[in-house]
């Protein structure tokens, strides 16, 4: 039986990584084999591309270059990790996926979504996430959390308006895809967010 692809999205410092660990435990307790992974990255080559994208050696990278690198990492990730895991019946929990490209490169950088869609269709064929949790919170709260964690990466150094556009793009996509998306109010203590995530997962598991 094919597995499921669950993706987790949100702006900087939304708490995705924190909650993904709880989600993995929850799904394993429900009897599923879970593969936890992330984008950009998830493979040896993908992690090298991630370092290029997040580091500061190429600060002026063109939006098209950035997008193509992200999809190069994604192609590798799909080929080596995601598709084999799904084929084996495992559930894949992915920290960011193509919705992040629509939000950051589309909303944030202003790349036309039709161009992203071309790459999405090419690299993924008909593969889309089965469920996407969007951790939504005010930009100020997320950036303050991310800032407490250490030095800013190349994205975290963007101007404020960039992150507002990213948030708006995510919310707009979630509004257009209510079957796939669940929006989680992430501006609350870890335990409250976790409780909501578990409630959402429980309800979703009853349907699949």
The site for ligand T5A (CB under 6 A) is made up of 10, 12-18, 39-40, 54, 70, 95-96, 100-101, 104-105, 145-146, 148-149, 155, 189-190, 193
Distance CA 123, CA 70 (A): 11
- Nearest-CA neighbor of 167 among 107, 105, 208? 107
Residue number, 21 or 87, with CB nearest to ligand T5A: 21
Q: How many residues does the chain have?
A: 208
Residue number, 88 or 140, with CB nearest to ligand T5A: 140
Cα–Cα separations (whole angstroms), residue 93 to 157, 182, 185 = 27, 15, 19
Residue number, 68 or 203, with CB nearest to ligand T5A: 68
- Report in angstroms how near the CB of residue 18 gets to ligand T5A at its nearest: 3
Distance CA 77, CA 91 (A): 15
- Report in angstroms how near the CB of residue 51 gets to ligand T5A at its nearest: 11
Q: Please, which residues bridge with residue 182 across strands?
A: 133
- Report in angstroms how near the CB of residue 136 gets to ligand T5A at its nearest: 11
The pairing of strands 5-10 and 131-136 is parallel
- Report in angstroms how near the CB of residue 49 gets to ligand T5A at its nearest: 11
Residue number, 8 or 86, with CB nearest to ligand T5A: 8
Q: Among the residues of the chain, which ranges form H helices?
A: 16-29, 44-54, 63-77, 83-87, 98-100, 113-124, 139-148, 160-176, 190-207
Q: Which two tokens stand for residue 76?
A: 């590798």
Q: Which two tokens stand for residue 33?
A: 């084999």
- Report in angstroms how near the CB of residue 172 gets to ligand T5A at its nearest: 16
Residue number, 152 or 205, with CB nearest to ligand T5A: 152
- Report in angstroms how near the CB of residue 9 gets to ligand T5A at its nearest: 9
Local structure of 20: helix, strand or coil: helix
Residue number, 14 or 93, with CB nearest to ligand T5A: 14
């Amino acid at each position: 039986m094919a597995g499921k692809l669950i993706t987790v999205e949100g702006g900087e410092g939304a708490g995705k990584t924190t909650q993904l660990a709880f989600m993995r435990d929850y799904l394993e307790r429900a009897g599923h084999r879970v593969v936890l992974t992330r984008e950009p990255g998830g493979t040896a080559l993908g992690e090298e591309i991630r370092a290029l994208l997040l580091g500061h050696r190429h600060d002026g990278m063109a939006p098209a270059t950035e997008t193509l690198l992200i999809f190069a990492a994604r192609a590798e990730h799909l080929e080596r990790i995601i598709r084999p895991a799904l084929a084996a019946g495992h559930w894949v929990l992915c920290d960011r996926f193509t919705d992040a490209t629509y939000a950051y490169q589309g909303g944030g950088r202003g790349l036309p979504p039709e161009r992203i869609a071309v790459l999405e269709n090419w690299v993924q064929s008909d593969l889309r996430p089965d469920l996407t949790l969007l951790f939504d919170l005010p930009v100020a709260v997320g950036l303050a959390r991310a800032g407490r964690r250490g030095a800013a990466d190349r994205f975290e150094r963007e101007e404020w308006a960039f992150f507002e556009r990213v948030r708006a793009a995510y919310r707009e996509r979630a509004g257009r895809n209510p079957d796939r998306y669940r929006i989680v109010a992430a501006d609350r203590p870890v335990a409250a967010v976790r409780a909501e995530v578990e409630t959402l997962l429980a309800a979703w598991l009853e349907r699949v």
